[in-house]
Structure 1
């Protein structure tokens, strides 16, 4: 395990020299490097597996903290608002990590094709979880990164290696979580469909009964499972989407405070400013000015 991890760390270090993020020609893969601890960053985490090969990182989802490093990977099984930060890194030993976006349809196909037995039924839990990294998983990622030295092979071999990674995850100690989200008709899969709807219609008024019916759940069951998986209610999730889109619009110079509020579905700019300040810790104008200053 340690030897495989060191080899992968050398490969990641080579491809990220002088960069904080490297997006290779391999679809759905991103590679990261940081040479010091970072402040918590609010972001939407896509369904993905995050593998750390050097250093330590943590994610905060609601009140839950997930710490992952060379021994532990992080699975995010559906789109989740979270706070992420690097907790262990230095110029001598930078944080090095890889994130592979999960193809849930491909995972469902593997479950059917390999006739994998379903895990025991489990109550709904958070959509984010830490699992134990195995040598087989590290070696599969190593083969994926090795393709960067033979780019002509990427279209043929990358999908095969990614399917192997999905298989390793399904067979891991946290495979049951992925089964829940990849199985069509499961409660987790229905919540994922609701999240997709919210992402596309965040600016519209939200009626919980209508959204629950859209994903074929009762309102009470929908609300319970949504909160269990995401650590927030559907209305809080919608608010998070609205405020982060407004932040993006203002930072890009596409809207001022009032117009951003209206564009994302707020009827009252004062209510927008209050909720924005609660989420980001500063008024919209001050927050955006601080972000722009940090980009200079």
Structure 2
């Protein structure tokens, strides 16, 4: 699941698949997500000599809203995709560099990190992906209304629903809601629920190995055979075989040091 996040690539390249769309981004570009959608992420360029390196942090819509008060109004496109990639610029890179240098000065993080984060958000708002950030900062913005529907689907993913009910929840007509939802997520509401169910099923199979049929019913499917077909179509293998393959993968050791707490103070490495 994506979250409200920006990722700046320093070396190598990555591909993000959302629905039928694929976004490619590498060194000299950044990725922005302004909606919570299930995606596949794949490192597309890396080597032992030049491993993939990126840095990112989650942002708060309230901080963006505070900035918008001091910035001029901008007329944005009506229908926006919630994921985007753009080339970076020297000012944005320099702000990220100053943020990362705080890892070596943890006693400065509490004062300096909020100021640098404000600068990063300011530069993003003025960049080609600024419309996405402006939309989520507006309570009555279409992106915020779509995110409200997304949250409901995730919290009630085992339940059936009517698109008209979701539209009513967001204050839009069914046709307008459907267009904004599809633009933001690249999926219809039903496709989003199905994709979320399958990702949740995969998580359950990995955490508590067991009967695939039991997992199918737990995530809202009424037919185990239909679940197995759709799972295999999405992940490439039937549920049990896919889970066994993933559990057999070696896990790289994780190292930590005193700066770990500092990282979580202003963001997280990706």
Q: TM-score interval w.r.t. the shorter chain?
A: 0.7 to 0.9
The Cα shift of 1:235 comes to 0.7
**Residue-by-residue CA offset, 1:176-232 (whole Å, 9 max, x unaligned):** 222123222121211111111112111222221111111111111111111111111
Q: Does 2:113 align with 1:158?
A: yes
1:97 match: 54
What value does the CA root-mean-square deviation take over the aligned residues? 1.6
Give the whole-Å Cα distance in 1 for the aligned partners of 2:152 and 2:209.
24
The Cα shift of 1:156 comes to 2.6
Instruction: Name the structure, 1 or 2, with higher relative contact order (CA <8 Å, separation 6+).
Output: 2
Deviates more, 1:172-181 or 1:221-230: 172-181
**Residue-by-residue CA offset, 1:155-188 (whole Å, 9 max, x unaligned):** 2322222122111100112212221232221212
Q: Does the residue aligned with 2:227 lie in a helix, a strand or coil?
A: helix
Runs of 4+ in 1 over 6 A off after TM superposition: none
Q: Does the residue aligned with 1:146 lie in a helix, a strand or coil?
A: helix
Greater strand proportion:
1
Q: Does 2:180 align with 1:229?
A: no
Give the whole-Å Cα distance in 1 for the aligned partners of 2:197 and 2:19.
18
Q: Does the residue aligned with 1:119 lie in a helix, a strand or coil?
A: coil
The Cα shift of 1:131 comes to 1.7
* Residue of structure 2 aligned with 1:59, choices 16, 19, 22: 16
Q: Does the residue aligned with 1:122 lie in a helix, a strand or coil?
A: coil
The Cα shift of 1:255 comes to 4.7
* Residue of structure 2 aligned with 1:129, choices 78, 84, 88: 84
**Residue-by-residue CA offset, 1:105-146 (whole Å, 9 max, x unaligned):** 21111111x1x1232231313211112211111111111111
The Cα shift of 1:254 comes to 5.8
Give the whole-Å Cα distance in 1 for the aligned partners of 2:133 and 2:147.
12
Q: Does 2:212 align with 1:212?
A: no
Between the two proteins, the alignment pairs up a number of residues equal to 251
2:42 match: 85
Give the whole-Å Cα distance in 1 for the aligned partners of 2:224 and 2:61.
39
Deviates more, 1:148-157 or 1:127-136: 148-157
Whether the 8 Å CA contact 1:59–1:82 is kept in 2: the answer is yes
1:49 match: 6
In the alignment, structure 1 segments of 5+ residues that lack a partner are 1-43
Whether the 8 Å CA contact 1:118–1:179 is kept in 2: the answer is no
Q: Does 2:137 align with 1:182?
A: yes
- TM-score norm. by structure 2 comes to 0.87
Whether the 8 Å CA contact 1:249–1:255 is kept in 2: the answer is no
2:232 match: 277
The Cα shift of 1:57 comes to 1.6
Give the whole-Å Cα distance in 2 for the aligned partners of 1:234 and 1:255.
29
Q: Does the residue aligned with 1:81 lie in a helix, a strand or coil?
A: coil
Structure 1 residues 151 and 121, CA gap change in structure 2 (3 angstroms): closer
Q: Does the residue aligned with 1:94 lie in a helix, a strand or coil?
A: coil
The Cα shift of 1:291 comes to 0.9
**Residue-by-residue CA offset, 1:89-114 (whole Å, 9 max, x unaligned):** 111122110121121121111111x1
Whether the 8 Å CA contact 1:51–1:97 is kept in 2: the answer is yes
- TM-score norm. by structure 1 comes to 0.80
